[in-house]
Every structure is written in structure tokens, then in C-alpha cells.
Amino acid sequence: MRGIRNVLTIARRELRHTFATPTGWIALCSFLLITGFFFVLEVRWYAMESMDSAFNPYREPMDLGTHLVAPFYGEVSLLLLMISPALTMRLFAEDRRNRALELLLTSPLSTAEIVLGKYLGALGVAGVLVLGTAHYALLLLWIGDPDPGVLLCSHLSMLLLVAAFVAVGLLVSAMTESQVVALVVTLVLLLLFWVLSAVGMIGSGPVTDAIADASFFNHAEQLGKGVLRIRDLVYFVTFVAVFLFATHQRVESLRWG
């Protein structure tokens, strides 16, 4: 119980630190404005395609999940990729630069408690961003007839994606004292995983399929379609666990280095 309390205390500290500064509120407001623009744009395109005889010659109701929900949440996921490095860059880098990490490492707190606390704090901030998109799902249920399962899986895919994004950013932040370096390296790594998801479009084969399957976007895409597979959940849990373990080892080396 004491270990859980320590983890939650660190997580609350990270949450307060984020929203006690203008940066956190600017990120939240910017995210809501941009996602609102994406939503209006996708609804407009959906309406235009529904009326366009080239896309819909028989003027039949078009599937909301395929033509609106999937594109919108795909854009939101990419936006979360761009924002996540800014949320994680300071987690360890700032503490290392200010020598605050030395105080943490010499305290009774274990390395696992420090890593998990910082991870949950950053994940909580990212979770607030994801929660900020919930009203779009309610609007779609109000004005249309989307599959509720697809909407739920789309939100689950975003939560799993930001869990992976934050895990990558946490490790990179533990590797450097520069927040700028942590921001850039995390962004490059996340974009690399995004590019890997496109490898499967180049051709089909065991190698290309394996490379594409290494990207978290491929697994999130299946969830976004409403297909809940155990292998996708196992992938995200394993991905996060590996990066948290690597972060633990890095911070442990700083403790004894």
C-alpha cells in the first residue's frame, strides 16, 4: 500500500505541475480547437460525399464508421502523436537539469515507484486530452446512427496509443538533460513507428508484414474498425512494459552512476 501511495503522490505532482503552468492549458485548448476543426471538416466531407453521385450514385446512407469515424479518429491519433513529446520531454530531463532527480534517487522512494509515478502522471494528462474528444462521439450518436462499438473501440485505440507514446517519451526523457533533445528524439521515434505502418502498403510478404506489424498504428487501426483482438491488446501491454523496464534500468543506472 505504501508503494501505491508513493506512485500516486508522484503522479499527482506531475499532473499539478502540468496544469499549474500555461503550457498545459495551451496544449489542451489547442488540442480541442484543432480536433473541433477536424470534426467539422470530416462532417462536411461526409455530407458532400453523401450527395455526390460519383461517391454515392444511389444516394444511400453511407456508413458513418468507414467514412467519418475512422478518418476523424485517425487524424486525432496523429495529433496526439505530435503533442505527446511535449508532454513527456520534461519528465526526467528537467529533474536532471535542476538536480531534483538526485533528491528523488536519494529518498526512500524506489526506482520503480518514481518511474511508474511519472508515467501515470503524464498518462493522466494525455488521458484528459483523449477525454476531451468524448463529446464528438455523443454528437455522432445524436445526429447519426454510428456503431457504438466502433466509437468505444476508437477511444480505446487512442488511449492505448497515448500509453505507448508516453512510454517512449518517458524513456527518451530519462536519457538526456535537454528537454529540446527529448522532444525532438521522441517525435522522430514516434514518426518512425508511424512510417513502419505504411510498409505493408508497399507489398505483401513475411518481412513487410512483420515490419508493419511492429507499428502500434497497425494494431490501433484494427481497434478503430471495431475489431477487438487479444493480440492487439497484448502488443500494447508488452510495448509499454518493455519501455517502462528500459526506463527503470536507465534511472537505476543514474542512481548508482
* C-alpha to C-alpha distance for 16 and 12, rounded to whole angstroms: 6
Assess contact for 10 and 118: CB atoms under 8 A: yes
Ordered per-residue pLDDT tens for the chain, 257 residues = 677 888 888 888 888 888 887 777 888 888 889 999 988 888 888 777 666 554 555 455 566 666 778 888 888 988 999 999 988 888 888 888 887 777 777 778 888 999 999 999 999 988 888 888 888 888 888 877 777 888 888 888 899 999 999 999 999 999 988 899 999 999 999 998 888 877 666 666 666 767 777 777 888 888 877 778 888 899 999 999 999 999 999 988 887 76
**DSSP symbols for 24-71:** HHHHHHHHHHHHHHHHHHHHHHHHHHHH-TTT-TT-PPPPHIIIIIHH
Q: Looking at the 3D structure of the chain, how many domains does it have? A: 1
In residues, how long is the chain?
257
Give the domain extent around 46.
2-256
Q: Return all residues near 34 (Cβ < 8 A) that are at least 6 apart.
A: 79
Q: Return all residues near 2 (Cβ < 8 A) that are at least 6 apart.
A: none
